[in-house]
Structure 1
Amino acid sequence: MIKHIVMWKFKDDAAEADKLEMKRQLEALKGVTPTLIDIEVGLDVLGSDQSKDIVLYSEFASMEDLTAYATHPAHLKVGELVKTLVCERMCVDYEV
């Protein structure tokens, strides 16, 4: 199993409604992108200097399935919104 974790920092001018819409659209990928086993998206509640603003946790059966998800049209469409709202991205993919 592959675990895919992504963290972003929002741009200073990102509206709260847009942040919630990004979360909603990411969560809506479950059931639309067939290789996505599970997904969880959370907004940071701490707000420390070390915090990122939003995190995505997702699971895939294989690296091939993660690649299929990454190139799926629904994922690419959400990515267009994400790019307008964030200024920083960090990612970790690991196998369990």
Structure 2
Amino acid sequence: MLKHIVMWKLKDHAEGNDRATNARLLKEKLDRCAAVVPGILKFEVALAQPGLEATYDAVLYSEFTDAAALEAYSVHPEHEAVKGFIGAVRSERQCMDFIV
């Protein structure tokens, strides 16, 4: 199994929206990717919540059967569309993939 974790800090304003609006849009768009290819075992998108420690605005925690499933997800048109939006609204990105 391969775990894929990504975190984003968002710009204060981008694409005509404030940070909170873009965070909600990012989550909505990513949530639609949860089952776009076989091999996705787990797919959770969470946003920073008031009162809880968070150094980033959004996180994706996902599990794939293997690297081939992650690659299929990575190039899927639905994911490609989300990447364009995220690229426009993020100021920072951190990612880690690992096999368990």
Q: Can you give the 5+ residue segments of structure 1 that lack an aligned partner in the other structure?
A: none
| Letter paired with 1:30 | A
2:62 pairs with one of 58, 63, 67: 58
Question: What is residue 13 of structure 1 aligned with on the other side?
Answer: 13
Aligned residues: 94
| Letter paired with 2:22 | D
TM-score by length of 2: 0.85
Structure whose residues are more often strand by fraction: 2
TM-score by length of 1: 0.88
Distance 2:93 2:70 in 1: 17
| Letter paired with 1:4 | H
1:22 pairs with one of 10, 22, 26: 26
Distance 2:82 2:4 in 1: 16
Q: Can you give the 5+ residue segments of structure 2 that lack an aligned partner in the other structure?
A: none
Taking only the aligned residue pairs, the percentage that are identical comes to 40
Once superposed, what is the RMSD of the aligned Cα atoms? Answer: 1.5
Question: What is residue 93 of structure 1 aligned with on the other side?
Answer: 97
Deviations 1:13-56 (A, max 9, x none): 152222101101101112223332221011112365xx111100
Question: What is residue 3 of structure 2 aligned with on the other side?
Answer: 3
